[in-house]
Amino acid sequence: MNKITCVEDFRRVARRRVPRMFYDYMDSGSWTESTYRANEADLQALKFRQRVAVDIARRSLRARLLGEDVAMPLALAPTGLTGMQRADGEILAARAAERFGVPFTLSTMSICSIEDVAARTSRPFWFQLYVMRDREFIGRLIDRARAARCSALMVTLDLQVMGQRHKDIKNGLSTPPRPTLANLANLALKPQWCLEMARTPRRAFGNIVGHAKGVADMRSLASWTAEQFDATLNWDDLAWIKERWGGKLVVKGILDTQDARRAVDAGADALVVSNHGGRQLDGAPSSIAALPAIAQAVGDRIEVLMDGGVRSGQDTLRALALGARGVLIGRAFLYALAAYGEAGVLRCLELMANELDVTMAFCGRTRVQDVDRRVLVNPEAAC
């Protein structure tokens, strides 16, 4: 990895090493992908105000997220199928996050189970919950997260229906994946990936298979999943979830100030300004465009986090400047994981920390807590 200098380098390597159907699942948005592209483009439009002759000798990136001390104000976002980007991917990413000192969030749709990750890490991690129709299963899932000592529960609210991603349809990504001639030919070109996947027993959705009623294998999982997304999910459901969980609660998928106020009223400890990485409602605003109004409306009553398009420490600084307490990264760490495993994720975090530190210094700041809109030349560009 001595030639890796940024997240984009990891992406190029990942594209070579991961089968097309899984790489495209990671690196795509819904419909025209306009929101997916806007997440990055709108961040890049924000320019920094350089300051000079300021004493910046003693700098610190340390912060607190959900009551936890962290090495920088960043967490690894929940991402589905992480264990298909790299064998045992969730375990490897969680270990890297632990070594660096930032939170890791495990997805409901992970390959490695809650118990797999808990048994192979020593630091509590966050767990992301998709609310399914089978409330009995969801209740047990919450109980399993609590038994595994997860320190926060993140409820994703923007997946009541599934956004259409053209690449997944064209690649035949399904549960289980369809063994088309094109897919088999592509797998033949990824021998390292195939060898690592053959060595691990973790190739199903570990939080669901064997735990949900009637789901014993990947084939039965397909029909179960198709029936389980709950279009009736509403704010009243959070009261039951909060009571069952009893710990720190985060709601994810907020793009509107009215919804942000509802999150506060529901008793959430934090919210994530997010458009699901541009994978759900194409044409929705970028996360950074939605952030300022939400931070202004509720930032004094709830921790406001943001994800979507964050590919560098500079993007992290941009989000902090517009009111975020911290950011979550998804694709950035997935590229690194797919390319180089645990060592790649650790290197990705190191690179982003250095980018954040150096950019903060050029802006005349020494602590991330002191970052505000004044580090930007044009903060209004995000609106």
Known catalytic residues are 276
Q: Find residue 92's DSSP bridge partners.
A: none
CA 118 to chain CA centroid, Å, is 18
Main-chain dihedrals φ then ψ at residue 131, nearest 5 degrees: -85, 115
Question: CA geometry: angle at 81 spanning 209 and 278, to 5°?
Answer: 130
Q: 176: how many CB neighbours lie within 10 A of its CB?
A: 12
Residues near 236 by beta carbon (within 8 Å), at least 6 away in sequence: none
Residues near 321 by beta carbon (within 8 Å), at least 6 away in sequence: 46, 371, 372, 373, 374, 375, 376, 379
CA 35 to chain CA centroid, Å, is 16
Work out whether the CA dihedral 121, 74, 305, 56 comes out positive or negative.
positive
337 burial level (CB within 10 Å; 0-12, 13-18, 19+): buried
Residues near 66 by beta carbon (within 8 Å), at least 6 away in sequence: 103, 126, 151, 152, 248, 250, 269, 270, 303
